[in-house]
């Protein structure tokens, strides 16, 4: 089969492309911005890439056009496909029809932590000898790729609640039909497509309705939103985590915690990840892995060799005693847990300088702006990039006083951070985008300042 993917350079669609190629299909694709590292990764896999969405691509005449959710009506190639009456489908639909059948799908959903927990689960299965396939919205350091197809019956997938395509407004995850599912947490997000939390809960319930009786749902027992989802109807066995009667992680130190289920101890985990949110990710993954026969004791041992995903508190460099991190946090809850996790490791004696780009659609719309100041309280200094922002960040962050500053120009922000930074500081850059390469700009400026 020849498939041509519209919007191929996104993490998800790029992963679909690699899986299709590994399955023996001819894969070509196009996108508005075809550039490294995704272009290099795809070309290395033998996938031909085309810049832009020109109608001349009709000459390819693939068996099916696979359409990413970046594509909208008015896209010239899409309009030509519709006019010609060609066959097309979404990425999740193609995946469900051609890769996932006959697989035991383990799906990880939730507002936060999907990528880390999916990577964790894949690693626990790998360490347990299960050789899983996977599709993850990031690059797990243990594997070095975001997608892999194997002959194993097990397939781990990051199950996103974002809509599928312009012609399919259901959440992506309803296509995956998992046998094991993690419901990690559920808050309001994606304000560009959901009107309120109840609308997202409805989509999660549609997801729950696809899980068989013989399957397993691993759910965060602390989340009332998820309890409401299950109360709408659930036909599958449920194991909860974070509550007394379920899976728990008892902190024994910054990088150690004891794991138990319903009061039964399984052992002490040791790893390098920070924060309670990551401990919750770990026990959710262990519970899901147990469902396919991975002994919790073995899973706990495997945690010690897990290396987190790129852009999850990834250290980008250290200059003159100043450490610069890159993190994907963009929702107030994720910002807060990221900073609190770092504080638990470094203690109260060292400063945290938070550098923030409110770039997600939800943040740009200002839906979460009233929660932003509280999420940043752990930081000693806050630098907010306001270029292109449609609301007054200075007013929103006013309660932080002189600890916070706002900058319309990236160069001004870099200069402000470098001027304030001193040896022992930890600079945490948080954005769900490239942030103009600010990480390297900070390191370069710190290096130049140190050389003077």
Q: Residue 451, SS3?
A: helix
140 and 158 co-located in one domain: yes
16 and 113 co-located in one domain: no
Q: Nearest-CA neighbor of 100 among 155, 180, 54, 147? A: 155
Enter the DSSP assignment of 59. G
Q: Which of 34, 64, 94 is the last residue of a domain?
A: 94
319 and 219 co-located in one domain: no
135 and 246 co-located in one domain: yes
335 and 219 co-located in one domain: no
Longest dimension (CA), the chain: 67
226 and 271 co-located in one domain: yes
359 and 341 co-located in one domain: yes
CATH of the domain at 283: 3.40.1190.10
Q: How many domains does the chain have?
A: 3
| Three-class DSSP labels, 81-107 | HHHHCCCEEEHHHHHHHHCCCCCEEEE
10 and 52 co-located in one domain: yes
Question: Cis peptide before 37, with omega less than 30 degrees from 0?
Answer: yes
Q: Does residue 308 lie within any of the structural domains?
A: no
145 and 217 co-located in one domain: yes
184 and 265 co-located in one domain: yes
Q: Which of 283, 303, 323 is the last residue of a domain?
A: 303
The per-residue pLDDT string of the chain (452 residues; one tens digit each, 9 = 90 and over) reads 999 999 998 889 999 999 999 999 999 999 998 766 677 888 888 899 999 999 999 999 999 999 999 999 999 999 999 999 999 999 999 999 999 999 999 999 998 888 999 999 999 999 999 999 999 987 888 888 889 999 999 999 999 998 999 999 999 999 999 999 999 989 877 767 788 889 999 999 999 999 999 999 999 999 999 999 999 999 999 999 999 889 999 888 777 899 999 889 999 998 877 778 888 999 999 999 999 999 999 999 999 998 877 677 788 898 989 999 888 877 788 888 888 888 877 888 889 999 998 877 667 666 678 888 888 999 999 998 988 777 888 888 889 999 989 898 989 999 999 999 999 999 999 887 778 888 889 998 888 877 66
Q: Are 136 and 147 in contact (CB under 8 A)?
A: yes
Q: Nearest-CA neighbor of 118 among 257, 259, 306, 320? A: 306
The domain of 416 spans: 314-451
287 and 378 co-located in one domain: no
289 and 173 co-located in one domain: yes
Q: Does residue 77 lie within any of the structural domains?
A: yes
């Amino acid at each position: 089969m020849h498939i041509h993917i519209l919007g191929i350079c996104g993490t998800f669609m790029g992963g679909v492309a690699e899986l299709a190629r590994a399955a023996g299909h001819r894969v070509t694709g196009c996108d508005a911005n075809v550039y490294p590292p995704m272009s290099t990764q795809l070309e290395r896999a033998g996938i031909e890439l085309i810049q832009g969405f020109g109608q001349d691509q009709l000459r390819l005449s693939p068996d099916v056009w696979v359409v990413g959710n970046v594509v909208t009506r008015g896209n010239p190639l899409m309009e030509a496909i519709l006019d010609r009456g060609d066959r097309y489908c979404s990425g999740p639909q193609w995946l469900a029809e051609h890769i996932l059948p006959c697989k035991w799908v383990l799906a990880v959903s939730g507002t936060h932590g999907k990528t880390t927990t999916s990577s964790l689960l894949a690693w626990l299965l790998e360490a347990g000898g299960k050789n899983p396939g996977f599709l993850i919205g990031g690059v797990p350091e243990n594997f070095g790729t975001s997608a892999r197809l194997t002959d194993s019956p097990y397939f781990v997938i990051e199950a996103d609640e974002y809509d599928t395509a312009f012609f399919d407004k259901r959440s992506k995850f309803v296509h995956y039909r998992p046998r094991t599912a993690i419901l990690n947490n559920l808050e309001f997000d994606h304000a560009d497509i959901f009107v309120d939390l109840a609308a997202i809960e409805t989509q999660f319930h549609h997801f729950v309705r696809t899980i068989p009786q013989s399957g397993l749902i691993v759910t965060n027992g602390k989340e009332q939103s998820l309890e409401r989802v299950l109360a709408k109807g659930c036909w599958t066995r449920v194991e909860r985590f974070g509550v007394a009667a379920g899976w728990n992680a008892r902190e024994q130190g910054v990088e150690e915690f004891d794991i138990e289920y319903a009061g039964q101890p399984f052992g002490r985990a040791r790893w390098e990840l920070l924060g309670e949110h990551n401990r919750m990710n770990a026990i959710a993954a262990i519970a899901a892995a147990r469902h396919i026969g991975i002994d919790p004791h073995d899973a706990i041992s495997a945690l010690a060799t897990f290396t987190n995903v790129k852009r999850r508190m990834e250290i980008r460099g250290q200059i003159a005693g100043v450490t610069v991190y890159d993190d994907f946090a963009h929702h107030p809850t994720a910002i807060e847990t990221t900073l609190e996790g770092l504080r638990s490791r470094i203690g109260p004696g060292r400063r945290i300088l938070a550098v923030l780009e409110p770039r997600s659609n939800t943040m740009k719309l200002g839906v979460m702006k009233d929660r932003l100041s509280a999420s940043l309280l752990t930081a000693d200094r806050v630098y907010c990039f306001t270029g292109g922002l449609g609301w007054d960040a200075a007013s929103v962050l006013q309660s932080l006083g002189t600890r916070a500053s706002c900058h319309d120009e990236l160069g001004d922000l870099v200069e402000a951070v470098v001027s304030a930074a001193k040896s022992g500081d930890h600079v945490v850059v948080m954005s769900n985008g490239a942030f103009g390469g600010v990480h390297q700009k900070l390191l370069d400026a710190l290096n130049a300042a140190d050389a003077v």
